[in-house]
Amino acid sequence: MSDGHGTGERESATAELARCREEIERIDNEIVSLLARRLKLGKRTGDLKRAAGLPILDPTREAAVIRRVTGVARDAQLPTEPIREIFWQIVGMSRRVQEQTSESL
Protein backbone atom coordinates (compact mmCIF):
# COMPACT_ATOMS: atom_id res chain seq x y z
CA MET A 1 0.00 0.00 0.00
CA SER A 2 2.91 2.39 0.66
CA ASP A 3 3.49 3.18 -3.01
CA GLY A 4 4.64 6.76 -2.64
CA HIS A 5 1.46 8.51 -1.45
CA GLY A 6 2.40 11.03 1.23
CA THR A 7 0.26 11.85 4.26
CA GLY A 8 -0.79 15.22 2.76
CA GLU A 9 -1.89 13.61 -0.48
CA ARG A 10 -3.88 11.00 1.41
CA GLU A 11 -5.63 13.64 3.55
CA SER A 12 -6.67 15.70 0.54
CA ALA A 13 -7.93 12.56 -1.20
CA THR A 14 -10.03 11.72 1.89
CA ALA A 15 -11.48 15.23 1.95
CA GLU A 16 -12.25 15.09 -1.78
CA LEU A 17 -13.91 11.69 -1.31
CA ALA A 18 -16.20 13.14 1.37
CA ARG A 19 -17.16 16.00 -0.99
CA CYS A 20 -17.89 13.53 -3.80
CA ARG A 21 -20.12 11.51 -1.49
CA GLU A 22 -22.08 14.61 -0.46
CA GLU A 23 -22.61 15.45 -4.14
CA ILE A 24 -23.74 11.87 -4.80
CA GLU A 25 -26.30 12.17 -2.01
CA ARG A 26 -27.63 15.41 -3.48
CA ILE A 27 -27.98 13.73 -6.89
CA ASP A 28 -29.73 10.72 -5.30
CA ASN A 29 -32.22 13.11 -3.67
CA GLU A 30 -32.86 14.69 -7.05
CA ILE A 31 -33.39 11.28 -8.67
CA VAL A 32 -35.94 10.34 -6.01
CA SER A 33 -37.85 13.62 -6.36
CA LEU A 34 -37.81 13.29 -10.16
CA LEU A 35 -39.22 9.76 -9.78
CA ALA A 36 -41.95 11.14 -7.51
CA ARG A 37 -42.82 13.70 -10.18
CA ARG A 38 -42.84 11.03 -12.87
CA LEU A 39 -45.13 8.77 -10.85
CA LYS A 40 -47.51 11.66 -10.19
CA LEU A 41 -47.76 12.21 -13.94
CA GLY A 42 -48.29 8.47 -14.35
CA LYS A 43 -51.26 8.68 -12.00
CA ARG A 44 -52.63 11.60 -14.01
CA THR A 45 -52.24 9.70 -17.32
CA GLY A 46 -54.07 6.79 -15.69
CA ASP A 47 -57.03 9.05 -14.93
CA LEU A 48 -56.94 10.50 -18.45
CA LYS A 49 -56.79 7.03 -20.03
CA ARG A 50 -59.88 6.06 -18.08
CA ALA A 51 -61.65 9.28 -19.08
CA ALA A 52 -60.79 8.58 -22.74
CA GLY A 53 -61.92 4.96 -22.41
CA LEU A 54 -58.41 3.62 -23.14
CA PRO A 55 -56.86 0.55 -21.47
CA ILE A 56 -54.28 1.20 -18.69
CA LEU A 57 -51.82 -1.35 -20.04
CA ASP A 58 -50.28 -0.04 -23.26
CA PRO A 59 -47.29 -2.22 -24.29
CA THR A 60 -46.77 -0.26 -27.52
CA ARG A 61 -46.31 2.97 -25.57
CA GLU A 62 -44.03 1.23 -23.02
CA ALA A 63 -41.85 -0.18 -25.82
CA ALA A 64 -41.63 3.27 -27.40
CA VAL A 65 -40.60 4.84 -24.05
CA ILE A 66 -37.86 2.23 -23.64
CA ARG A 67 -36.62 2.66 -27.20
CA ARG A 68 -36.50 6.44 -26.80
CA VAL A 69 -34.45 6.36 -23.57
CA THR A 70 -32.14 3.74 -25.12
CA GLY A 71 -31.30 6.30 -27.81
CA VAL A 72 -30.86 9.10 -25.25
CA ALA A 73 -28.52 6.88 -23.19
CA ARG A 74 -26.52 5.94 -26.27
CA ASP A 75 -26.12 9.61 -27.26
CA ALA A 76 -24.91 10.31 -23.72
CA GLN A 77 -22.43 7.44 -24.15
CA LEU A 78 -23.91 5.47 -21.27
CA PRO A 79 -24.19 1.66 -21.37
CA THR A 80 -27.67 1.06 -22.82
CA GLU A 81 -28.59 -2.31 -21.27
CA PRO A 82 -28.47 -1.19 -17.60
CA ILE A 83 -30.39 2.00 -18.52
CA ARG A 84 -33.05 -0.13 -20.20
CA GLU A 85 -33.31 -2.27 -17.05
CA ILE A 86 -33.74 0.82 -14.86
CA PHE A 87 -36.43 2.19 -17.15
CA TRP A 88 -38.33 -1.09 -17.29
CA GLN A 89 -38.49 -0.79 -13.48
CA ILE A 90 -39.73 2.80 -13.74
CA VAL A 91 -42.29 1.95 -16.41
CA GLY A 92 -43.48 -0.95 -14.21
CA MET A 93 -43.82 1.36 -11.17
CA SER A 94 -45.77 3.85 -13.24
CA ARG A 95 -48.10 1.14 -14.52
CA ARG A 96 -48.81 -0.03 -10.96
CA VAL A 97 -49.60 3.52 -9.85
CA GLN A 98 -52.03 3.87 -12.76
CA GLU A 99 -53.73 0.61 -11.84
CA GLN A 100 -54.02 1.59 -8.15
CA THR A 101 -56.11 4.62 -9.04
CA SER A 102 -58.58 2.41 -10.89
CA GLU A 103 -59.10 0.30 -7.73
CA SER A 104 -59.72 3.34 -5.55
CA LEU A 105 -62.39 4.71 -7.90
Partner 1 sequence: MIIVTKSDVSDAEIDHIRERIESLGMRTHLSRGERRTIIGCIGDESLLDEVPLRSLPGVESVTPVLKPYKLASREFAADRTVVRVGGRDARAEFGGREISVIAGPCSVEGRDMLLSTAREVRQAGASMLRGGAFKPRTSPYAFQGLGEQALRLLVEVRAATGLPVVTEVMDTRQVDLVAEHADMLQVGARNMQNFSLLAELGRVRRPVLLKRGLSATVKELLMAAEYIMANGNHDVVLCERGIRTYETATRNTLDIGAIPVLKRESHLPVIVDPSHAGGDAELVAPLAFAAIAAGADGLIVEVHPDPERALSDGDQSLAPTGFATMMQSLAAFAAAAGRTMGTPAEARAVA
What residue ranges bind partner 1 (CB under 8 A)? 57, 59-60, 62-64, 66-67, 70-71, 74, 81, 85, 88
Nearer to partner 1, 81 or 103 (CB): 81
57/50 Cα distance (integer angstroms): 11
CA distance 91 to 105: 22
Query: Are residues 54 and 64 in contact, defined by beta-carbon separation less than 8 angstroms?
Result: no
Measured from the CB atom, is 26 or 68 closer to partner 1?
68
Quick one: 5 or 44, whose CB is closer to partner 1? Answer: 5
Least CB distance from residue 98 to partner 1, whole Å? 15
